[in-house]
Amino acid sequence: RQSNLRVLVDMDGVLCDFELYLLESYKQKYPNEPCIELQDREGFWVKDQYEKLKEGLGANCVNVHNCKGFFKNLPEIPGSIEAVKELSQMENVDVFLCTSPLNYYKYCMQEKYAWVEKHLGKNWLEKIIITKDKTVVNGHVLIDDKPNITGAMLQPSWEHIVFTSCHNTGTNLHGKRRLDNWTDGTWRDLIEEFKKR
Ligand code: TMP
């Protein structure tokens, strides 16, 4: 390969624990409403599953993640920070953070930057790619928990590696490969394999 291996890493669900923090914050905000425990989550969109559970609960979810401080305070997915730091130090690898913002951008956008600065450091602000359409981003690998990533490019340059999350454990990935976690070291083997291509 003439260039370095470009690895695109999603934020929500891969670096930051959107699902866990949404559930915790929801329980705090709506203690008397039913909720969906993480082991019962299905489908990418939290609000859709809540709305099916009971009319109006979808809007409650939106209220939770639209709040000031939500994106800034997301906890890290175990091991993610250490892993992407190590990944970025690997020879012939370039890492980019590739994330889709909420249309309600008032807090989300700046807080994503704040999160990266806090957890990874100022230098990483250079690595942020904010886009609603990841198919037009040119990379070799995209690590993302959303099972079905579509957009303007029918055949994106990257291979999508699905990061395992509570909402996709039962999802048919139609042959796509998974990365289950950042903690057992398998991500290193995956990257080494891509580097050899
Ligand atoms: P991602 O595909 O880069 O992880 O983008 C996730 C974006 O979608 C993030 O801004 C949060 C938003 N989102 C919702 O609005 N509702 C949801 O139920 C989920 C899971 C994410």
What is the pLDDT tens value at each position of the chain, 197 positions in all?
789 999 999 999 999 999 999 999 999 999 999 999 999 999 999 999 999 999 999 999 999 999 999 999 999 999 999 999 999 999 999 999 999 999 999 999 999 999 999 999 999 999 999 999 999 999 999 999 999 999 999 999 999 999 999 999 999 999 999 999 999 999 999 999 999 99
Residue 118 tokens, joined: 């806090």
Does residue 138 contact residue 157 with C-beta atoms inside 8 Å? yes
pLDDT at 184: 98
- Kindly report the backbone phi and psi dihedral angles of residue 57, in degrees, each rounded to the nearest multiple of 5, phi listed first: -70, -25
- Listed in sequence order, the DSSP H helices in the chain are 18-29, 46-53, 57-66, 80-89, 105-119, 186-196
pLDDT at 106: 97
pTM of the model: 0.98
**Residue 12 CA to ligand 1 centre (angstroms):** 7
Whether 17 is a known active-site residue: answer no
ipTM of the predicted assembly exceeds 0.85: yes
pLDDT at 2: 84
Whether 40 is a known active-site residue: answer no
Q: Ligand 1 site: residues with CB under 6 angstroms?
A: 10, 12-13, 18, 44-47, 99-102, 108, 146
| Numbers of helices and strands, H then E, in the chain | 6, 6
pLDDT at 82: 98
**Residue 93 CA to ligand 1 centre (angstroms):** 27
CA-based nearest residue to 75, from 122, 115, 134: 115
CA-based nearest residue to 128, from 89, 95, 90: 95
Catalytic residue among 10, 17, 144, 145: 10
